[in-house]
Structure 1
């Protein structure tokens, strides 16, 4: 980060490290998936294509992140277990949960057409995520047994419910029939009324799915005598088991015992309230401005892979802006967003009660939606290109107690925008002129702003004449749209490239931080 007088705002960031020896589990679950399922015509009670899409996204997570060694999923939920001694992003909860949910969401949206080639993705799929801290292997074992038990109970209930509805019973009547019934009674209902033996239903529905890594050997080349040269690697696969929380299942996969350890022989009856106590959750302080900063992960590589122009790709920046606009339109609690390069900061109103101010819920919802939008909007800005690997982002939340400190945070990001853009413009002009990247870095080491401007002048570039979006970044907010022939206006989300450090911007737009409302409710001194 560039040095500036505004850097003090970094002190408001709070560390959220998950302490060793806790085993980290990232649990993700669909947001508004009832509506999503209805919109896309998923079969009831289960759509196997949708479940296989979830599994394909999960295996992609295991293949992309070596620290994720196991996954278990059913319906619209997946739990990912990280290896016991992981230092993945130094065990910071917000980083881990946001990266996993972002990558999973991008993979889900990217792979949609593989499983639903005739259906358009009309709504943005999004997921929420949270961290579960398992203090021991016994707790992890109990957690996995609990989730598989939930899979069975939910599937059995939903199978009965929808069979009754399909037979002509109303949904209300069907729920009344099933109220208070036990497992055996549901099995008898399915068999007697519909000729269904519950145990004959597909394993993926009754048992859920496990994503595990197995060791395989790939042929990388052949010797002159025709003998293959093999290279070992770990491959993610989907398996099904009646009981995943047993020693017998666990010992079948060396990756699990090597990276996590062994399970016990068995566990007693699970109490969900006990397991819920291991959720890693924190509430953000009331009456503070919440900022969620979304930042691209490994975007240097992503830019290289997709041939982005250097030092700035205008279409890529417009894609980021379009995603931010959609988020501001969808979430009324977001009152301002500022973006530069591969990052965007979203400001939530001071009195926001979004997700009861649970940090993990807010971070994961915004990061997941942003990732989903990025994938879905890609073709609008790059119609001739397909990205090679799913883009993904990390997120963090920070609370700022006053409007002044919030504005200093935004000023810090805009100062960074200018300094980084000026440096990158110089750097890439030097590289394009024939210098190596190391030589370009040496040329720029220790140079001041004026010296960089003089260097650019040698290439015939007036820095102040470069596109304002590159120099100022992008501000996204709601503004009044005046309708012709009437004094009544309506809110419209706009993008402006302007100086948000100066007082003038905030005076022109007092509604953003509610300063207009505060002025109207000033209590006069007696």
Structure 2
């Protein structure tokens, strides 16, 4: 019989043949997406459309959990059923192996969201490897603007659905409409898209902030002011160039 060490060495080759590690100096940004969340949110949980604060809070709590489960996350962003995470260049967890990041992050998000919602929920994950701060900014600018586009379309679609149009008719009504035409459609129903809450249009950002709190010096017992870190949840993110500057400031 072959000894265990011989078998282990032989079989590890097959398990690790597809291992790719992110090179030093490259930024990693993970994007997680909910799988079959339309069924989960509309049929199982029956959340309000197009936006529901209960679902928003579940996504924020899941994002916060990903920031505190062992990874060095500088910035996180969530919109709809997706989460993006920017890792520190110094993050060396799992030797920066992509398969470990993808599998662990998807598992952590799936487990946390399932516990919160009380039903089975799963996420997939993919990693972007970005060589510059400018590309990191472009990535988050892309997701920020995607949130705006999706929110406008969602408001139009569900406004028509609530006006008794079925799925096919509502989709057909919106086909080919420009941004200005969609805004006009909403205005005809008394909805000014500019007045929609920022978190619905722009997503939500989470990042670390330093704060001060009273403490006691354990050596001499004197009262002191200690600095601690906590996660700030930003529900009023800026847009366009202002958002680009906002993301750049994460690196300072």
Q: Does TM, normalized by the shorter one, top 0.5?
A: yes
Q: Residue 505 of structure 1: CA displacement?
A: 6.8
Match 2:36 to one of 298, 302, 307: 298
Q: Is contact 2:50-2:154 (8 Å) kept?
A: yes
Match 1:408 to one of 114, 135, 138: 138
Residues 282 and 467 from structure 1, CA distance in 2 versus in 1: closer, same or farther, beyond 3 angstroms?
same
Q: State the alpha-carbon separation in 1 of the partners of residues 193 and 98 from structure 2.
A: 40
Matched, 1:466 2:196: yes
Q: Is contact 1:283-1:356 (8 Å) kept?
A: yes
Matched, 1:355 2:122: no
Q: Residue 437 of structure 1: CA displacement?
A: 1.2
Match 2:124 to one of 394, 398, 402: 394
Deviation by residue 1:328-358 (Cα, 9 ceiling, x = unmatched): 1333511111111111011111232111000
Alignment map for 1:431-450 (pairs within 5 Å): 431-450=161-180
Q: State the alpha-carbon separation in 2 of the partners of residues 495 and 361 from structure 1.
A: 27
Q: State the alpha-carbon separation in 2 of the partners of residues 270 and 409 from structure 1.
A: 45
Structure 2 residue aligned with 1:313: 52
Q: Is contact 1:363-1:397 (8 Å) kept?
A: yes
Alignment map for 1:489-504 (pairs within 5 Å): 489-497=227-235, 498-499=237-238, 501-503=240-242
TM-score for the superposition, normalised by structure 1: 0.43
Match 1:281 to one of 19, 28, 32: 19
Q: Match of 1:479, SS?
A: strand
Q: State the alpha-carbon separation in 2 of the partners of residues 356 and 500 from structure 1.
A: 35
Q: State the alpha-carbon separation in 2 of the partners of residues 277 and 376 from structure 1.
A: 36
Structure 1 residue aligned with 2:8: 272
Q: Residue 401 of structure 1: CA displacement?
A: 0.5
Q: Residue 457 of structure 1: CA displacement?
A: 1.1
Q: Match of 2:180, SS?
A: helix
Q: State the alpha-carbon separation in 1 of the partners of residues 171 and 146 from structure 2.
A: 18
How many correspondences in the alignment? 239
Q: State the alpha-carbon separation in 2 of the partners of residues 430 and 504 from structure 1.
A: 31
TM-score for the superposition, normalised by structure 2: 0.86
Q: Residue 492 of structure 1: CA displacement?
A: 1.1
Structure 2 residue aligned with 1:340: 79
Q: Residue 436 of structure 1: CA displacement?
A: 1.5
Q: State the alpha-carbon separation in 1 of the partners of residues 158 and 109 from structure 2.
A: 29
Structure 2 residue aligned with 1:64: none
Q: State the alpha-carbon separation in 1 of the partners of residues 125 and 149 from structure 2.
A: 23
Q: Residue 494 of structure 1: CA displacement?
A: 1.1
Structure number with the bigger relative contact order (C-alpha 8 A, sep ≥ 6) is 2
Root mean square deviation, CA, Å = 2.5
Alignment map for 1:113-192 (pairs within 5 Å): none
Q: Match of 1:277, SS?
A: helix
Residues 482 and 505 from structure 1, CA distance in 2 versus in 1: closer, same or farther, beyond 3 angstroms?
farther
Residues 503 and 310 from structure 1, CA distance in 2 versus in 1: closer, same or farther, beyond 3 angstroms?
closer
Q: Is contact 1:410-1:501 (8 Å) kept?
A: no
Q: State the alpha-carbon separation in 2 of the partners of residues 415 and 354 from structure 1.
A: 31
Flag the structure with larger Rg: 1
Q: Is contact 1:325-1:494 (8 Å) kept?
A: no
Q: State the alpha-carbon separation in 1 of the partners of residues 13 and 71 from structure 2.
A: 31
Q: State the alpha-carbon separation in 2 of the partners of residues 338 and 358 from structure 1.
A: 22
Deviation by residue 1:499-526 (Cα, 9 ceiling, x = unmatched): 264346746973x22xx3xxxxxxxxxx
Unaligned stretches of 5+ residues in structure 2: 215-222
Q: Is contact 1:407-1:501 (8 Å) kept?
A: no
Q: State the alpha-carbon separation in 2 of the partners of residues 362 and 480 from structure 1.
A: 27
